[in-house]
Structure 1
Amino acid sequence: MELNKAASVVKKVGPWAWWRSWWVRQSPVRQDRFANLAPVAAVLLFLAAIASAFWYLRIEEVEREQEAIKRDVEYAQQRLRLRLLERQEQVMRLARDVSNREIKAEQFMVRAEALVQQYPEYQSLTWIDDRRRIIANQSVSSLLPSQHLRAGTVLKIGETESHYSLARDLMQPIYGRVDADDDKTNNNSVLQLHSPLSNDLGRFSGVILAEYSMEGLLRYGIPTEVLAKYAVALRDGDGQLLAGQTIPKRIHLWNLMPGNPRLDNDYEIPVSPVGNDLILRAQAWRTSQGLVGSGLFWLVSVLSVMTAWMLIGNWRHTRRRLQAQKALVAETNFRRAMENSMVTGMRALDLHGRISYVNPAFCQMTGWSEAELVGATAPFPYWPEQDREQLTKRLEEEISGQHSAGGFQVRVKRQNGSLFDARMYVSPLIDASGKHTGWMTSMTDITEPNRIREQLANAHERFTIVLEALDASVSVAPLGSQELLFANKLYRLWFGQDTQGHLRLVAQAGAYEGPNDAEDVDDLAGLPTESLTVASSENAEIFVPELGKWLEVRSRYINWADGRLAQMVIATDITPRRQAEELAAQQAERAQNASRLITMGEMASSVAHELNQPLTAISNYCSGMISRIKSQQVEEKDLLWALDKTAHQAQRAGQIILRIRSFVKRSEPNRALSDVSAMVNESLELAEIELRRRNVRLSHYVAARLPLLMVDPILIEQVLINLMKNAAESIDNAKRPSHQRHVELRVGLQEVDGKSVVEFAVTDSGQGLPPEAIDRVYEAFFSTKAEGMGIGLNLCRSIIESHQGRISAQNLYNAHEVTGCRFSFWIPVEDASTTLQATGVNE
Structure 2
Amino acid sequence: MKSRIKSHLNALARRWRGAWRRWSLWTALVVLVAAMLSTLVWLAGRYEASQVQSRLERDTADAVADIRAALTRNLQSLQALHAGDPGQLAWEVDAAELLRNRRELVRIEWRDADLRVRTHAQSPYRPVAWEVRLREGSQSDAAIACATARRLSSPAYSSSYFQPHGDGLGSEMMELCMPLTAKGRITGFLVATYSLHDVLTNLVAHNLTRRQEASFTEPDGTRLAALGAARRGSRMFTAQHLLDLPGTTLVLRMDSWHSAPSLFPNVLTALVTAMSIALVTVMVVLVRDNRRRLRAERDLADALAFRKAMEDSLVTGLRARDLQGRITYVNPAFCAMVGFSAQELLGQSANAPYWPPERVEEYRQRQAIRFAGTIPPREGFESEFMRKDGTRFPVLIIEAPLINAQGQHTGWMSAFLDISEQRRVEELSRASQERLQATARLATVGEMASLLSHELNQPLAAISSYATGSINLLEAPPAEPAGPASPAQAEQLRDLRMALQHIARQAERAGKVIKSVHDFVRRRDQARESVPAQQLLDAILPLVILQARKLGVRVHTQVEPGLPPVWCDRTMVEQVLLNLARNAMQAMDDPALPARVLTLRVRHAASNQHSAWVEFSVTDVGSGIPPEVAERLFTPFFTTRREGMGLGLSMCRTVIEQHGGYLGFAPHEPRGTVFTFTLPADPGTAP
TM-score band by shorter chain is 0.3 to 0.5
TM-score, scaled relative to structure 1: 0.35
TM-score, scaled relative to structure 2: 0.41
Higher RCO by CA contacts (8 Å cutoff, separation 6 or greater): 2
